[in-house]
Amino acid sequence: MSLVAKYIPLNRDVGLSSYQALAERVIDTPLGRVSLAANQFGLSHLSFLPGQDDDFAAREVTLVAREQQALEQAEAHLDQAEDELSAYFAGRLTAFSLALAPVGTAFQHKVWQALLAHPFGDAASYSDIASAIDNPKAVRAVGSANGANRIAIIIPCHRIIGKGGALTGYAYGLKIKQQLLALEAEAVGRSR
């Protein structure tokens, strides 16, 4: 079950032409600059932008031109994402309600839905997610789908840790992953 109001699983196997991002915005967060992109269906990308001391590369977003109405819908999704991320980083939001429109394979969507269903502030292992999608042997494939997630934070791939509790890789570095986990643990602590 998804913890967002609307999740539109756009299948990359049918072609991307009508699903690509239409609008992009860069915002500042307590953890650095973040790039947001959306199409008319919802938020399609959320990625950290590297600072001068970071060792990860920016994830590129290709924008396509569409009619004005679709562009306005995309901008509205960006506005909502910016508002909700501000509340998240302030510790006031534990469940996002904006529409998401990630592009991926059917398997990736299963994994991302399982990530969305995982409780806020609670870490899980790759094998936990594989079990949640009723495919316990797909641990490596879950890891691959986790790494392909283009909507960081909201589809919470940062909550996936090693089976023994160790922090494992994160596209934006372990420092950001650790900070996201700490931010969520603090929010959960305040709500108890």
- Catalytic annotation, residues: 157
DSSP state of 103: E
Q: Are strands 6-7 and 160-161 parallel, antiparallel or unpaired?
A: unpaired
Give start and end residues of each alpha helix (H) in 34-138. Answer: 68-89, 106-117, 126-132
Tell me how many degrees the CA angle 75-79-83 measures, rounded to the nearest 5: 165
- Alpha carbon distances (Å) from 123 to 75, 149, 159, 177: 32, 17, 5, 11
Task: Answer for the pair 185, 91: CB distance below 8 angstroms, yes or no.
Answer: no
Rounded to whole angstroms, the Cα distance separating 183 from 82 reads: 17
Neighbours of 77 (CB within 10 A): 25
